[in-house]
Amino acid sequence: MKYKPVLELKGSLLTLMVLNLFNSDNELIAKALAEKISKAPDFFQQVPIVIDLQAVEDNQAVLDLSELVKLLRTYGLTPVAVRGGNIEHNEIALNMNLGILNNIKSPAPQLTLETKVAAVPEIPAAKIIRDPIRSGQQVIAEKGDLIILSAVSHGAEILADRHIHVYGALRGRALAGINGDNKAQIFCQQLYADLLSVAGKYQVNEDFPEDLIGKSTQTYLEQDKLNIKKL
């Protein structure tokens, strides 16, 4: 009997339509797009398209990517990925289930002069958040501490390279030391967390000592074991 595989994954080179943007003015873009598409509306139906932001010359941050994606969809196009956007754009793209493609033109970042300068050790800045973190939201401090001045709801997720401090009630998931820093700690005023984790070692709410629920606590690793202690 011949074994016939159910599926296979393969890289493939495809020809895709790319929308190159040179300007970040949302209104100008909308206008120009309307003009282009009105010339051959049928041509653009269900066509996959990549949004390329590499050539945007002025302030990239002004560009409203989600609006643009919605606009393309209303014209019948199917945006599939984004290339060359900033971090916010990439985040919006992920939220809208779009892929993120690598920059093709810019040189590898390691080679630039600026990164060489940045290689001098510096103290990473803490990320400070004032607003409540709601269910379904995720906040990441990729470098340094994460400090949250209000509550973190059930179903929300906060992650930090180093320590996490929460000055409201902590109800969601808190993961400190996500890059393996086993000296990282989690501090909170009221512990109701769904899950606590330091450098990959975690505990779920059910396993927390009962007398610590609702208390202000400190969570840290001791001999590779997660420890929760009253403050």
Partner 1 sequence: MSKIIVITSGKGGVGKTTTSAAFATGLALRGNKTVVIDFDVGLRNLDLVMGCERRVVYDFINVINGEANLNQALIKDKRVENLFILPASQTRNKDALTLKGVARILEELKKDFDYIICDSPAGIEHGAIMAMYFADEALIVTNPEVSSVRDSDRIIGMLSSKTRRAMQKMPAIKEHLLITRYEEKRVNKGEMLSIKDVQEILAISLLGVIPESLEILKASNSGIPVILNKETDAGQAYLDIVARFLGEEPPQRKKKGFFSRLFGI
Helix axes 87-95, 65-74, angle to 10 degrees: 40
Q: Is 139 or 226 the residue whose CB approaches partner 1 more closely?
A: 139
Beta carbon nearer to partner 1, 24 or 103: 24
> Of 24, 54, 150, 189, which one interacts with partner 1 (CB under 8 A)?
150
Shortest spacing between CB 33 and partner 1, in angstroms: 12
Joined together, the tokens standing for residue 174 give 């808190």
C-beta atoms surrounding 178 within 10 Å: 19
| Contacting residue, 98, 171, 185, 217, with partner 1 by CB under 8 A | 171
Q: Which stretch binds partner 1 (CB under 8 A): 43-51, 126-134, 141-149, 207-215?
A: 126-134
Does residue 184 contact residue 162 with C-beta atoms inside 8 Å?
A: yes
Cβ proximity to partner 1: between 68 and 146 the closer is 68
Buried residues in 186-218 as b, exposed as e (16+ CB within 10 A): bbbbbbbbbebbbbeeebeeeebeeeeeebebe
**Residue with structure tokens 């390279």?**
161
Residue 151 in the binding site for partner 1 (CB under 8 A) = yes
Contacts of 199 (CB under 8 A, 6+ apart): 176, 177, 178, 180, 181, 182, 184, 221
Stretch that binds partner 1, among 69-77, 114-122, 158-166, 176-184 (CB under 8 A): 69-77
Residues 27-56 that bind partner 1 (CB under 8 A): none
Per CB under 8 A, residues contacting partner 1 are 64, 66-67, 70-71, 74, 131-137, 150-151, 153-156, 169, 171
